[in-house]
Every structure is written in C-alpha cells, then in structure tokens.
Amino acid sequence: MPAQWEAHRTSGSTIAAIATPMGQGGVGIVRLSGPQSLDIAEKLFVPGPRFKGFKAYKLHYGWIKNRNQQILDEVLLAYMPAPYSYTREDVVEINCHGGPAVLEGVLEALYHLGAEPAAPGEFTKRAFLNNRMDLTQAEAALEMINAPTQDGALLARDKLQGHLKERVDSLRDSLEKLKQELCLAVDFPEEDLECLPLADLAQRTNSAVREIDQLLKAFEQNRVFREGALVVLAGRVNAGKSSLMNALLGRERAIVTSIPGTTRDYLEEAINLDGLPVRLVDTAGRRPTRDKIEMMGLETGRQLISRSDLCILVLDAGQEPAPEDLDILEEISPGKLVLAVNKQDLVSGTPGWVQDLKDKGLDLVHTSATLGHGLENLTRAIRSRILGEKRPQATSSLAPNLRQKTALDKARQELLLLADEARQEMPYDVLGVRLDYACTFLDEITGRIVTDDILNSIFENFCIGK
C-alpha cells in the first residue's frame, strides 16, 4: 500500500450508502463498511424466528427499525467480517424492499447511530487501500458497471480478475531485473565485474517495448467496446436516413416526412448491434442552401463524419447519386464507408449506377427502411467494417483504459530513449535512470505509486454505493 494512504486505512470510520440505483424496485441494498458495522446494524435489526446469532456469509431474516426505533421494513441481512469482504473491513448489507422511502429511512437510522456517509467509490477505494485489489482492478469495477454490452463486460472481467496487473507486474519485474544486471560495476567499482553488453541491453529493451505495444494495440482494438463506435448516417435530403435510423432502432426516434430537409441538426442514439455498442447519428441531409441554421447543421455533419468510426452513405435507389453524394464519397476512405441503397422496394432490378459502385469495390447493402428489408445485412456490414467480424479475443482482452494507456506511452518512450542512448554508449548509471522512470510509470498503472489527484480522479467517477 502506498505509504501516504496508511492514515486513511486506519482511520477507523464506518461508512454507509445505498448500493443499488435510486428509484423504485423490488430490492434495494444498504451497505455498511468499517469496524462498527455489525454493532450499528445490531441496534436496528430485529431478528426473525430461529435466529441464533449472526453467522458470517449467511442471510438473516428479520425486520429493520428506523431512527425512532419503529419497525420500517422486512429485510435480509448479511454479515461479512474482515478481512474476507469486498473492502477487507467488516461489511454488513441490508436487503430491503427497493422503495426510496424505505432505503432513505434505513440510511438515516445508520447515520443517526454513527455511520458516516460514503463518498463516491469509497467502498472500492477502501478495497484498494487495504490491498484487496490494485488500481487496475478498482478501475475495472467501474468499467464493469458502465459496460454497455456483454462483450464490454467480458473485457472488464479479465482486468477485474487481476490479469492486467499480472501482465504489468511481470513487465516491471523484467525491467527491474534488467536494471540490476545493467552494471554491477557502478555499485562495486573496486570489483572487476562485467557489465551487461549493450547488444543484450538493446535486445531486452526492444522485447519490453514490443510487450507494451501489444497492450497499446489492445487499447485501440477494444476502444469501441468501452466508448461505443460512432456510426454516422449521411447523404442528400430525402434519401431515407431518418427512416433507416428508426428502422435500426426499432422505434420512431427521428421525424420522417416527405418534405426534404426535415433533419436540420443531428440526432444521436445508442444501439447494441449484436454485442457492439454503437452511437448512431442521423445528420442533416446535404443540399445547396443559404439558410444559416441549415448550413450550421451541415457543417456539424461534416465534423461528425470526419470523427466517425464508420459512415453509412444512404442513397435513394430510384435516383442516381447527386453531387452531394459524390462529395461524401470523396471525403471518406472506402475502409470507413458502407453504402446503403435505400428505398429498394420502389425500384425493380438493380440500376446500372449501383452496379458501377459495386465494381469499384465499395461495400454496398440494399435496404428498405419502410419494409425493414436488408437491416440484418446492414448490421453485419457495420460490424464487419468496425470489427472485422471479430469479437474480443482473449489475447487482446487486457485492454488498458486511457489513464493506463498514457502511463504505458510514457514507459515506452523511456525505453526508446534508453535504446537510443545505449547506441550512443552513454554511461550505465545514466541508462539505469531511464529504467527507473519506466518502472515508475508502470507503478502508476497498478497503484504502487499514486498521488491524491490520480486517486481522486478515479474514484470520483464511481457511484456512491460502490
């Protein structure tokens, strides 16, 4: 544990919070953690029949009282003694009915008896401070909560189990060993000791860089599972973009009329495409205009297309591509483009211009938003372009988050400088400093070295009861 956090760990306070989302529900949980957890709970808990005292990791049936010692609710209470709990402190969880009035009444009673309100993420923060988990596992808990799809949850699961920590620790240990071998003569100049040959140093440094590169590659590969892929519907007015958006969402989200230019700004909705989280955006239809508001909407659409992971150019099957469509084809690389030839139900056969686009090797799907035809093919095309038809693989699932990636980038840069300085035959003690810096950046990932600012920035994003 970082030394600066020892005082926090031994403060002796007992915290309490509602651990389930606010609102009405079948079950709500109030969580206590700290040395007084059981004592406080005992003062409010009225046990049911056949109760023979609290047993660890068992559910106890009974009732809970409010601060006025009135029976408030019928509950199940669980006691998890230290150190075998989530926080490595004594933990009590009270399972109540999930109404706000009940949960707030229980929480008010706990505060009245001496429990303190938990800060955002304080339960997980205590788990980290008490060495139950490292910082990558703490962050993985938040990623698990926020995962938009099951694939995203699987990515967080591997880190929650400590696999990223093991990978980073292994890399750090190899650098630490390299530092020890770098030059014993620096520490023992009176001895005739042989330093590590520069060729071996370069080889092992490059090996460490390659391992970091694998983790950085996983960050980019799995970014869409954390953030959602940005998929933009574009094209000229009245091509059916809004209808196609509604069809993919399965509900009426965008206003659809026969009047061109209905969408003047942009609409964004989240959608799960077979495990792929997508931020689907409907942009204003392109056409010549002098309307300032519409021009602003068109410029916003261009910016969204430039930032997108994929652009779906929606074409009207009954009309040849307009100059506005051709402009979009010029703006976007084929690898980030899927053509949706919409309103296919209104034409017979395949128009010649469609075949011309196919001959150019463009990814093209026939759709009818009105009838729902071609939507499965369009979904497959979206997944194929973004993922290459692949789900997250075990070899790439240890994807760092942005904070961890930044630290990896810094460690990688130190190793590259080390290799360059080794080629310049810099002194061994100077080269050792580079290894020290690289190890420090790796320690920031796991939390061996951590500052108040880093810790607070992580846990302030948690909900109160986690």
Residue 16, SS3 per DSSP: strand
pLDDT score of 293: 59
pLDDT score of 440: 95
Query: Span 142-167, mean pLDDT?
Result: 86
User: Is 292 annotated among the ligand-binding residues?
Assistant: no
| Burial class of residue 399, CB neighbours in 10 A (0-12, 13-18, 19+) | buried
CA distances for 216 relative to 88, 211, 385, angstroms:
33, 9, 21
Residue 18, SS3 per DSSP: strand
Query: Span 186-195, mean pLDDT?
Result: 58
pLDDT score of 426: 84
Cis geometry, peptide bond prior to residue 83 (ω within 30 degrees of 0): yes
CATH number for the domain whose boundaries are 226-387: 3.40.50.300
Instruction: State both tokens at 458.
Output: 């992580």
User: Is 119 annotated among the ligand-binding residues?
Assistant: no
User: Is 43 annotated among the ligand-binding residues?
Assistant: no
Cα distance between the two ends of the chain:
20
Query: Span 338-357, mean pLDDT?
Result: 83
pLDDT score of 289: 58
pLDDT score of 432: 87
Q: How confident is the model at residue 299 (pLDDT cuts 50, 70, 90)?
A: low
User: Is 258 annotated among the ligand-binding residues?
Assistant: yes
Taking residue 79's Cβ as centre, other Cβ atoms within 10 Å add up to: 22
Q: How confident is the model at residue 269 (pLDDT cuts 50, 70, 90)?
A: confident
User: Is 242 annotated among the ligand-binding residues?
Assistant: yes
User: Is 283 annotated among the ligand-binding residues?
Assistant: yes
Query: Span 154-170, mean pLDDT?
Result: 91
pLDDT tens column, 58-116? 999 999 999 999 999 999 999 999 999 999 999 999 999 999 999 999 999 999 999 99
Taking residue 459's Cβ as centre, other Cβ atoms within 10 Å add up to: 20
**What is the rounded distance in angstroms from the CA atom of residue 377 to the CA atom of residue 388?**
14
| Burial class of residue 165, CB neighbours in 10 A (0-12, 13-18, 19+) | buried
The DSSP bridge pattern shows strands 45-47 and 59-65 to be antiparallel
User: Is 350 annotated among the ligand-binding residues?
Assistant: no
CA distances for 418 relative to 208, 349, 410, 427, 443, angstroms:
12, 64, 12, 11, 18
> Where is pLDDT greater, at 395 or 462?
462
Pair 72, 105: CB distance under 8 Å: yes
pLDDT surpasses 50 at 127 = yes
User: Is 452 annotated among the ligand-binding residues?
Assistant: no
**137-222+399-446 is classed CATH 3.30.420.10:** no
Residue 11, SS3 per DSSP: coil
Residue whose C-alpha is closest to residue 466's, from 163, 160, 167: 160
Pair 423, 433: CB distance under 8 Å: no
Pair 441, 408: CB distance under 8 Å: yes
User: Is 263 annotated among the ligand-binding residues?
Assistant: yes
Q: Where are the domains of the chain?
A: 3-134, 137-222+399-446, 226-387
pLDDT tens column, 2-33? 433 333 434 589 999 999 988 888 999 999 99
User: Is 82 annotated among the ligand-binding residues?
Assistant: no
Instruction: State both tokens at 101.
Output: 């009035």
**What is the rounded distance in angstroms from the CA atom of residue 97 to the CA atom of residue 77?**
12
| Burial class of residue 135, CB neighbours in 10 A (0-12, 13-18, 19+) | buried
User: Is 31 annotated among the ligand-binding residues?
Assistant: yes
pTM: 0.75
User: Is 179 annotated among the ligand-binding residues?
Assistant: no
State which fold the 3-134 domain adopts: Gyrase A; domain 2 (3.30.1360)
- Which DSSP string do the residues of 326-381 spell out, in sequence order? HHHHHHS-GGGEEEEEE-GGGS-S--HHHHHHHHTT--EEE-BTTTTBTHHHHHHH
User: Is 100 annotated among the ligand-binding residues?
Assistant: no
Pair 228, 250: CB distance under 8 Å: no
For the chain, the average pLDDT equals 84
User: Is 260 annotated among the ligand-binding residues?
Assistant: yes
User: Is 397 annotated among the ligand-binding residues?
Assistant: no
**What is the rounded distance in angstroms from the CA atom of residue 90 to the CA atom of residue 93?**
10
User: Is 284 annotated among the ligand-binding residues?
Assistant: yes
User: Is 396 annotated among the ligand-binding residues?
Assistant: no
> Where is pLDDT greater, at 303 or 380?
380
User: Is 458 annotated among the ligand-binding residues?
Assistant: no
pLDDT tens column, 386-430? 887 555 543 456 789 999 999 999 999 999 999 888 888 888 888
